[in-house]
Amino acid sequence: MPLRLRQAIAGRPNLLSSSNVGVISIGNNSYVVHPSGSNVTVLSPELNLIDTLPFWAALPHRASTSNPGQVEGVCCSNVDNLIVSWSEIHVVIWQHLFTKGIGEWTVHSTVVASNSIKSLDFRSGILLLGTQDGIEFWRMDPQAEVVVWDRIWQRPYPAPTSIHISPSSGHIAWFTKNQRSAYILATDRKGQAIGMAQELRHPREISWIGWRKPISASSDSHLYTITTNSVFRIYSPVLDDPTWFQLLSSLDHRSFSPSGQHGGKGKEPEINSFGAIWAWDAEVLRVVVKAELISIKEKESEIPTQTTKILEGLENEESDVIIWMGPNREIVLRSILNMERKPPTLLKTLPLANYKVPASSSSPSWSPQAQILHVPGSTPGLLAITAPTVHHPQITAHRLSLIGLLGSRSNGIVPPSVPGLSEDTTLVQLKNSIDKFVRTPNGRGLLVLAEDGEVATWYKQQLSLRPKKWHLGPKTLVGRGHWTVPTSPSQAAIFAKGRAIVFYTKTPKGDPIITLQHLDSHATKPREPVILPHFNPTPDDDVEMLLAVSDIDDGYSGGSRRTQRAIITAATKSGEAWVWRVVSRITPKEGDLENQPDIHLISHYRLPLDSEHEEGIPKFILPVDPMGWHQSVIDWTTDTPLQDMILTISSDGDLEFWTPKIGVHLAGQDNRQKAIQVDTPCDHCGSNGVSKGDEPWTRTGIVKTDRSNVIMARCSSRKKTVIVCELDDGRHEMTIWDSKVSEFSTGLELTHIFERGDKIRDLDWTTTSDLQSVLAVGFDHKVVLVCEQRMSYVETTPGWAPFLTIDMERHTPVPIRDSIWLAGGSLAVGTGNQIYLFSRFLGRDSPTPSPAGSVKSMALDEEEPEDIFQLIAHRNGPLVDYHPTQLGQCLLWDKSDLVKSILLQLVKSLKQSEEDGKKRIRFQRLDPSEFYSRKKRSRTVKASINKYDGLFDSFQPPPVDDDDEFTDRVVDELVDRLNGKVAVPLTAYEKSFLATVAQATLEAEQQRRSLDICGMRYLISLRMYVNWDRLSSSSQTPVSAITSTYPNSPSDSLEEKRSNHFSFRNIVWASHSESQELLLSASKETCKDGKMLWEDARRMGIFLWLKAGETFKSQLEVIARNRFMQDEDRDPTCCSLIFFALGKKKVVHGLWRQAPGHKEQALMSKFLANDFELERWKTAALKNAYALLGKQRYEYAAAFFMLAGCAKDSINVCLRHLNDWQLGVALARVVESNEMEGKGVGPILRWILEDTVLPVAFKGGHRWLASWAFWTLGRRDLAVRILISPMNDIAIDFRSDKILEVGNPDNDDPSLLLMFQHLKSKSLQTAKGTNEVSTKLEYDFVLHNARVFFRMGCHNLALDLLRSWSFERPFFPSRTTRTTKTTSTPISSGPLKRPSLNGLNTISSSYIAGSHRRRPSFMLTNEKRTESLFMDMDVLVESNGTNTSTLPTPNNEKSNPINGDEQIDPTQVRAQKEEPVEEEEEEKVKEELVQSPPKKIGNLMKELKQDVQQGGMEFDMDNFF
């Protein structure tokens, strides 16, 4: 998808020879060719840059030269479609060929001369070279497949300035500059020279020679010469000696205009008084005359009869036309007749027309070297191309109307149209290669530093033209100035719309200076420079950063505004910084300076660099790019910077941002005059200290990147920093960093390593209208545009991604020198001495970009061209309300009613748009308050026919809610309309995802009475995964919301994508759900043919979240059977491990008896018939297991270890060799009966979790995996803390004796907050863990994930998170003395107070009541109800500082559920040393509680058991309606 090329500025033509311009016509296309720098430039008739032919690239042996010479001249051949150019001794010939209907220039051949070439000519396979020592004659066979050039002869002559071959190839003519003689040499048919050269003497110096181009049937040659006094002479061969030429006729300026007399007798006239004479190309003239006559006949336009007769005469009589332009703007045309007739005495000349150039138009600067070009299909079709000269170095093109000239009409000559040139602009072209681009802060002005001290400036106009009307409007980039400085500046800055230029240079004596120059209107060179005062760096210190900001470059600048104030900042590599204030006095009309500006030093200080860096000198000092849209950089009322100005990068990669503390003293008008006087250098080392008005620099932020080998960096106005490092193998690593860092974010947003061949040459930032940063990464022949992209919830994607590549090889083969962003999203790319300006609009010939469901895309008219700003908004802007990503998040955050209302509104909008005949959906966005409203949609339940008065009447199904509009019919209609006539700005994947969300919403609504919130979250994620897997399998490529990748970047395979796509967070949600039967059933449905294999179970974590019991065993057995039945060979070895773990040896024995084709059937049938309870056969099984290990049959070896009763060894094989810890967990949960008997985690499972799972989780930064592992281990306090706390702290608290390796934690997941909210009050352990998380840490994590929501495009959900998040803590009142009549107080009553860890040392009387009061069977709940805590720890023991997790637990097999849905974890309850309290002693114990503090938790547990037996479960009355 290319960008539209808005403008291309060609380089200045070289003036090294008289052949510095050529014209060529190929088919219906015409081109203007000229040498520029070390290239040959091809222009259109409108002088727009079309192509560039690199001269030295055609010569491999010289392509790598460090200093390629300039191309000296060109010559074009219309017959052979060739362009011939030369430089020094080399000649390169290009040929225009058509490949698949596309024309392109390819290298035809090359020639190496014996000496430096001064001129050349080419015709019909003959190459004539005029060298420093004479003339060389070369020939090749045009019909040969391989081009071979042969030098026929060489003769010594004075170096020819211009040399030409006659049309019949029988004569050679040349002349030498400043000489009065021309020479003609005859050649035979073989090309050999005949005799000696004939000298044609002239009374004046010759300025031009050329052969007349006759009709094809003629063989006569006529030589034209023009001398410096504008005398035109015709030479022709003698009748009896064709090799000898004589003067046939001559015309001087008096022949054209009798009034053109020179200034008196005996006086030599001035050169310009002779005018300019020019002979038109006869071949081109004949084509133009014929085209004009055809046009007259077809259009039947009113043309004067005399004009028509002249055209017919020119066609019939084969006349030549000579044009003369006098000094008084008079143009005269004369024809030469009878050139083809014999004898030559019949030759005569006749006047054709007189034309007066209007005074309002520019006068053409024609010369004898000018050429005419026929442009087919255009009116007028004749173009006059003027050759560049020293006084007029640019090529100009005048359109000539032959009818207008012959009829002396005013439209005879159309002056060259250079759109955009006004009185204060000029046509600026570069002569040398570009070194560096510099822009004004707002991108309106462009400064170019080229080689050899060449400097040029342009101004970027603000035009409101669509691409279709570009050709009608002016150029957007217009020249302002062009000059040469004696010493090339090492640093430069520009401001005031490109009229103020700041240079840092060193004088010839070596003194460093910073100068300020102003470029006035109507001037191409600036004023004398002004040296900035008090700049005195140390001799070995150089300026590394120069930044200038003015009041009109700061943000939007109107056309009538003029610069009044500016700030210039300079910093050296040692950290010394200066800040100057510039006050300019501008004339009100012209906008020029009345006199030189006032410059005052307002700050001189050394940056207080971090002392931890040993070198003390930063590696880079860069400016913070001030180019920000609708944003001010400096408060000009006080000269106060509003953002950072300098970025320093240390040798170890630390990014430090700095801003000067200036301008505060200018807040009052009384202090302004005093501040202006602060223009003396500051003595920081002296005794006086810092003078008044001078303030130090302040570091506003630091980012530690740990990058050492930094070679390039840039910082955007949004403080996004890109760093390029060179790795040890030579590859370039690019990283992008955000300045906002916290304990949850290192600032790293992208890491990409390019291939060896991709070397980064340039970096530059810009900012879109909605304040999004865009990066341009320049390589040798391409520019990659990179922008931020939305985060994905279902997969890990980089924070930045390329969205467009500009392939410069489509425009020029010249390598890129520099690139820079300008205002309006335009990108200027410099190649050689050329500038290509790309607009932000996308090319219409490119494929339409895939739609994206952003808010910006909804406001687009489909007929308007899309630009990169819109594409960036698609990738990183806010999503539309109905985008599946946003709806999926709403479902996860329990906003199902909102999702249903949005989907209903979407169906209505699609239907209404189709009825209105709209091609694009018109969707009315919801008010943002709907996303954070806590109101639930009211339900209207119709009265049933049968009424029941009693609570215990027989159960009847609840009545159907007929008023619920979200039904199966609505979902089906939505799915049908998504691919209907009305376009929806979603990709095919997003449409499928949206349909999946709708179906999941309906399914969750239908099963809301049996599906809890955790189960619903698992179900939604499962549906999303199945949808992604289906699309990926059908396309054979991984489906992603963002499919753009860096060029040549490796991507994961489909299997790797599948395995990583189903996040572990979904497994954790399922493990906390009580609707596991439903989840298991839904998981089975996703498998192929409904048969779950181990790969499916591992991907969905079935045996991690499925609770231990018979269902667990039966499902594992089903997987083993499915695996056995999967293959046709029915190999029992693939399922033996699971069956042996289940203790079903006989099943495996039976499977072996049914495998007659297996080579091991007999041995295994015999072996499994033995009794493996005996030690003998256990030993035999172990021997077989070790033998299988040696054969690397690991799964079968694990099966034999399991058969021998060595479960831990079998699981160890799964962990070490099969690399499948999930299989090890599943086997451990089967073979250990502790968990199934309610005894907690067995030793093998604990070993797996502590030695394998948790190290993997910490090393990979997987918070979800660690939370599941801690919850399984019974460390539920850590399971809560690990969700948001630093993982290093958790690793130390869990195992202080063995430090776990901690990787980069995954913090960019808002669902972590959901899980934290779900678990923090679930049990006493989780309450303890919650209280160990500081409120500040929780606040930072909430703020961080609000930014994550923002990056996901869910801006409304980010606002909802910040508005609605509660920082409540579980309430632990302190221990107080109370009476037996005190009633328990609800937890939610009274003002909430932030708890502390000390609250865990006591237990509230709310939990241990003096007199037991039965809770009601049905508790009316509200939105803010607090669930009862699960008693999974001994609070009294915790108050004494004992860690219950490390104490032995009793074998209690009769533990009853607490709160109806949880069970006491026996591993977390401290062993009771005393005997249980009997029932008859219970009342006595209750009475004693008042006098003595509670001792044990046994009485509390009994009370809770009684509470459960009386219906202690909390019910929601909403479930009954």
Choice between 260 and 1217, residue whose per-residue pLDDT is larger: 1217
Of the chain, the percentage scoring pLDDT greater than 90 comes to: 35
Question: CB within 8 A of 1426, min separation 6: which ones?
Answer: 1321, 1387, 1388
Contacts of 687 (CB under 8 A, 6+ apart): none
Task: Extract the tokens encoding 124.
Answer: 């019909």
What are φ and ψ of residue 650, in 5° steps? Answer: -80, 175
> Rounded CA gap, 173 and 202, in Å?
14
Instruction: Give the DSSP per-residue string, 538-582.
Output: -TT--EEEEEEEETTTSS---TT----EEEEEEEETTSEEEEEEE
Cα–Cα distance, 1030 to 1046 (Å, whole number)? 26
pLDDT of 69 strictly over 70: yes
Is the pLDDT score of 1134 beyond 80? yes
- Residues 760-782 have a mean pLDDT of 91
Cα distance between residue 317 and residue 319, in whole Å: 5
- Cis peptide upstream of residue 393 (ω within 30 degrees of 0): no
Bridge-based pairing state of the strands 382-386 and 434-439: unpaired
| Contacting residues for 1140 by C-beta, under 8 A, at least 6 apart | 1148, 1199, 1202, 1203
Q: Which of 680-689, 1028-1037, 1172-1181 has the lowest mean pLDDT?
A: 680-689
User: Regarding predicted confidence, which is higher, 651 or 1395?
Assistant: 651
Strands, DSSP E only, in 642-681? 646-649, 654-660
User: Looking at 10-89, which runs of residues are DSSP E strands?
Assistant: 22-26, 29-36, 39-43, 49-54, 73-77, 82-87
Amino acid at 624: V
pLDDT at 486 > cutoff 50: yes
pLDDT surpasses 50 at 778: yes
Considering only CA atoms, which of 228, 320, 236 is closest in space to residue 277?
228
> Higher-confidence residue: 344 or 506?
506
Whole-number pLDDT of residue 501: 94
Model pLDDT, residue 530: 92
Residue matched to tokens 């065993």: 1113
pLDDT band at 507 (very low <50, low <70, confident <90, very high): confident
Strand 512-518's sheet: what is its strand order? 491-495, 500-506, 512-518, 530-531
pLDDT at 948 (0 to 100): 43
- pLDDT confidence band for 1140 (50 / 70 / 90): very high
Which of 949-963, 1268-1282, 1331-1345 shows the lowest per-residue confidence on average (mean pLDDT)?
949-963
Average pLDDT, the chain: 79
Low-confidence winner among 698-712, 1357-1371, 1484-1498 (lowest mean pLDDT): 1484-1498
Amino acid at 1462: E
DSSP 1210-1243: HHHHHHHTS--HHHHHHHHHHH--TTTTT----H
- Looking only at the bridges linking them, the beta strands covering 782-788 and 800-807 are antiparallel
- With helix as H, strand as E and coil as C, how does 1392-1450 read? CCCCCHHHHHCCCCCCCCCCCCCCCCCCCCCCCCCCCCECCCCHHHHHCCCCHHHCCCC
**Cα–Cα distance for residue pair 962/971, rounded to 1 Å:** 16
Closest CA to 1401 of 1435, 1445, 1447: 1435
Amino acid at 890: C
Give backbone dihedrals phi and psi of 317, rounded to 5 degrees, phi first: -95, 5
| Residue the block writes with tokens 């033998």 | 1187
1458 pLDDT above the threshold of 90? no
Q: Would you place residue 1118 in the very low, low, confident or very high pLDDT band (cuts 50, 70, 90)?
A: very high
Q: How far apart are CA 631 and CA 624, in angstroms?
A: 14
Q: What is the pLDDT of residue 1147?
A: 92
- Characterise 730 by phi-psi region: left (phi > 0), alpha (psi -120 to 50), beta (else): left
Q: 705 exposed, middle or buried (CB, 10 Å; 0-12, 13-18, 19+)? A: buried
Across 513-540, average pLDDT: 90
Q: How far apart are CA 1362 and CA 1354, in angstroms?
A: 13
Per-residue pLDDT tens over the stretch 104-133: 899 999 999 999 999 999 998 999 999 999
Can you tell me the distance from the alpha carbon of 412 to that of 400, in angstroms, rounded to the nearest whole number? Answer: 6
CA angle, residues 1038, 1043, 1047, in degrees to nearest 5 = 110
Lowest-confidence range among 370-379, 560-569, 820-829, 1074-1083? 560-569
Task: Say if CB 1011 and CB 1078 are below 8 A apart.
Answer: yes
Distance (Å) of CA 702 to CA 611, 747, 1185:
13, 10, 58
Q: Would you state the pLDDT for residue 292?
A: 84
Q: Tokens representing 651?
A: 């040798």
- 1080/1356 Cα distance (integer angstroms): 34
Tell me what pLDDT residue 1518 has: 46
Q: Which of 323-327, 777-781, 1016-1020 has the highest mean pLDDT?
A: 777-781
C-alpha distances (whole Å) from 953 to each of 324, 947, 949, 1009, 1511 are 118, 10, 8, 21, 19
Q: Is the pLDDT of residue 1445 over 50?
A: no
Determine the distance from the C-alpha atom of residue 1090 to the mean position of all C-alpha atoms in its chain, rounded to a whole number: 43
Residue in this structure with the two tokens 């840039």, named with its chain if needed: 714
d(CA 521, CA 590): 7
- Whether the pLDDT of residue 1314 is over 60: the answer is yes
Measured CA distances, 820 to 20, 68, 823 (Å) = 31, 26, 10
How far apart are alpha carbons 563 and 586 in whole angstroms? Answer: 8
Return d(Cα 921, Cα 913) in angstroms, integer.
6
Residue 687 banded pLDDT, cuts 50, 70, 90:
very low
| Calpha distance 181→175 (Å, rounded) | 7
Is residue 636 very low, low, confident or very high in pLDDT (cuts 50, 70, 90)? confident
Take residue 335 and report the two structure tokens written for it.
């024809």
What pLDDT is recorded for position 268? 40
Amino acid (one-letter) located at 971: V
Cβ(437)–Cβ(425) under 8 Å?
A: no
| 566 within 8 A of 445, measured Cβ to Cβ | no
> For the segment 233-286, what is each residue's pLDDT rounded down to a tens digit?
999 888 778 888 999 889 988 888 765 444 444 444 444 578 889 898 888 888
pLDDT confidence band for 1444 (50 / 70 / 90): very low
- Which of 663, 667, 670 has the alpha carbon at shortest distance from 694? 663
**Tens digits of per-residue pLDDT, 789-818?**
888 776 677 889 898 999 999 899 999 999
- pLDDT grade for 1122, boundaries at 50, 70 and 90: very high
Q: Which of 258-267, 376-385, 840-849, 1334-1343 has the lowest average pLDDT?
A: 258-267
Cα(1308)–Cα(1347) distance, rounded to whole angstroms?
A: 9
CA 363 to mean position of chain CA atoms: 49
**1278-1286: average pLDDT:** 92
1011-1064: pLDDT as tens digits? 888 998 898 888 877 876 776 665 544 344 333 444 444 444 445 545 556 788
pLDDT in tens, 1359-1399: 999 998 988 876 654 444 343 333 333 333 333 333 333 33
Q: Give bridge partners of residue 775 from the DSSP assignment.
A: 765, 786
For the beta sheet containing 193-201, the strands, ordered from the edge strand earlier in sequence to the opposite edge, are 162-165, 171-175, 181-187, 193-201
Neighbours of 155 (CB within 10 A): 14
1141-1150 per-residue burial string, b: 16 or more CB within 10 A, e: under 16: bbeebebbbe
Q: Which range is least confidently modeled, 143-152, 277-286, 1230-1239, 1512-1521?
A: 1512-1521
| pLDDT surpassing 50 at residue 1450 | no
Q: Which of 260-264, 317-321, 495-499 has the lowest mean pLDDT?
A: 260-264
The DSSP-derived string for 279-296 is EPPHHHHHHHHHHHHHHH
Q: What is the pLDDT of residue 611?
A: 56
- Say which range, 254-258, 760-764, 1182-1186, has the weakest mean pLDDT: 254-258
- What is the rounded distance in angstroms from the CA atom of residue 229 to the CA atom of residue 251? 11
Which of 485-499, 831-845, 861-875, 1035-1049 has the largest mean confidence? Answer: 485-499
Model confidence band, residue 1457 (pLDDT cutoffs 50, 70, 90)? very low
pLDDT at 679 over 60: no
CA dihedral 1415, 1419, 1420, 1421 (to 10 degrees): 110
- Across the range 1084-1091, mean pLDDT stands at 89
- Give the number of residues written for the chain: 1521
The mean per-residue pLDDT over the stretch 155-184 comes to 93
